[in-house]
Amino acid sequence: MPSGYHHLTCEERCQIGVLKTRGYSLRAIAREVNRSHTTIAREVRRNSGDRGYRFKQAERTAQERRRRASSRCWKMTAVLWALIEGLLRLAWSPEQIAGRLRREGSVLVSPEWIYHYIRQDRKAGGILWRCLRRRGKKPNVKAGRDQGRGCIPNRVDIAARPACVAAKARVGDWEADTMIGKGHRGALVTLVDRMSKLVLIQRVTRKQ
């Protein structure tokens, strides 16, 4: 069993649902799933519905709870914004910044919140929007979703990924991004495992 608390995966919830239907006790389920008895008891207590524990409903309930927790409002302090602004000037995307803050456990700030703050700064005459890779440009809707500059051939749209990937419930689902250096000289390719938050960074000579 891994050290520390880890969220149950969709597959584990499916296994819990099957074992409960077969009449297994919570302690027996814990042994089968290789989780602690308290984890199984908490899962069944928090995510059961009127018809008992059903793994699909439990998965939706757990994801909704995480969504509400991540959308809580946090006070933006001067120190925190200085950190965010510094990373923006290093060509970090709001998604990367939010991910770093989440991994460090300092604060939960969504990428949308950072984009909103940058828009407000621009309206007030600020120049933080210039640090964005797209610089606030709107997508070219007329060109279609599969056309336009920067489109990857034969790519799979993010909307088509499995639900378990969106839930960040398993190791091995990676997110890739590119960081461009000052003056567009050199670039970094970053890979982040969605569940473990393991980060791999490699310098490349060309962004292509």
**One pLDDT digit (tens) per residue for the chain, 208 residues:** 444 446 788 888 999 989 989 999 999 999 998 988 888 998 998 888 888 898 888 888 888 877 765 555 455 567 777 888 888 888 888 888 888 877 776 667 788 888 888 888 888 888 888 888 765 444 444 444 444 445 566 666 666 667 777 777 788 888 888 877 766 677 888 888 888 888 888 888 776 6
Q: At what angle do helices 37-47 and 26-33 cross, to 10 degrees?
A: 110
Q: Is 168 left (phi over 0), alpha (psi -120 to 50) or beta?
A: left
pTM of the model: 0.34
| Cβ-based neighbour number of residue 13 at 10 Å | 23
pLDDT of residue 106: 60
Q: Is 183 exposed, middle or buried (CB count within 10 Å of its CB: 0-12, 13-18, 19+)?
A: exposed
Task: Report pLDDT for 16.
Answer: 92
Q: Which residue has the tokens 């149950």?
A: 8
